[in-house]
Amino acid sequence: MNQSRIEKKFIFPNQASDLVKKILLGNNFKKLYSDRYITSIYIDNLNFDSAKDNINGVNERKKFRVRWYDDDLNKIYFEQKNKNNFFVWKNIKKLELDINKKNLINKIYELLSNNNKYIDTNYNYKMVLKINYKRSYFISDQGEFRATIDTEINTSPVLDFNKVIRLPETILEFKFSKNSESYFRDFFSLRGLNIRSKKYSKYIQSFIALEESGFII
């Protein structure tokens, strides 16, 4: 289990992605490592309780996803992301499955259909949608904060990956410990950065976009 941390998100239009990087690099942040593409398949139950909890602002909630990086299906992970107000922590397990692009969906379906160590199948979970995006990684000069910038956010329903919708947002996210919270507030005020964090979930925004397009029923 990951140690709990605070996450703060800032939302920009896609055309501002270069500006967002300049904001970080001009304020004592540096690249942490190379960009990579992240793909996640989100899992919910038949009532979409995970989505509903987020939309309704339930303080304690969780969501499930299968995730991999770039095209490396040899390292594919099952994640349970837990949230209590602004505090976030994850339970991550590497899937011990023989997965490739052709059998990916069938293998995950088997995972959700059988009792296993990854998920409680009594809750009738199902795959809902796929999200793919590019993530850039940054760290502050003293190492107090990590920051990521997510761009090129695409989503599609699990039933048809060819039905792709591009979300219009670029996401800047800061991640830090409780001990650095006051320093985080000072970081923005001292630099005159007049931006405010917002609640944002790629899963929810993708769910809404696909539902409005008739891709999720």
Tens digit of each residue's pLDDT (9 = 90 or more) over 67-108? 999 989 999 999 999 998 878 999 999 988 888 888 999 988
Q: What is the pLDDT of residue 188?
A: 66
Q: What is the pLDDT of residue 194?
A: 66
pLDDT at 2 exceeding the cut of 70: no
Q: What is the pLDDT of residue 100?
A: 86
Can you name the CATH fold of 5-212? mRNA Triphosphatase Cet1; Chain A (3.20.100)
Q: Cα 171 from chain centroid?
A: 10
Confidence of residue 115 (pLDDT cuts 50, 70, 90): low
Q: What is the pLDDT of residue 217?
A: 60
Burial call 100-117: b when 16+ CB within 10 Å, e when fewer: eeeebbebbeebbeeebe
In three-state secondary structure terms, 47 is coil
Closest C-alpha to 149, from 21, 27, 60: 21
Indicate the residue type of 154: N
pLDDT at 190 exceeding the cut of 80: no
Confidence of residue 122 (pLDDT cuts 50, 70, 90): low
In three-state secondary structure terms, 99 is coil
Q: What is the pLDDT of residue 183?
A: 76
Confidence of residue 49 (pLDDT cuts 50, 70, 90): very high
**Do residues 11 and 169 make contact, with C-beta atoms less than 8 angstroms apart?**
yes
Indicate the residue type of 156: S
Q: What is the pLDDT of residues 165-188, one digit of tens each?
A: 999 999 999 999 888 887 777 776
Answering whether pTM is above 0.85, one says yes
**Do residues 189 and 195 make contact, with C-beta atoms less than 8 angstroms apart?**
no
Give the C-alpha separation, 48 to 210, whole Å.
14
Q: Any residues with CB less than 8 A from the CB of 115 and at least 6 apart, and which?
A: 121
Closest C-alpha to 43, from 63, 58, 69: 63
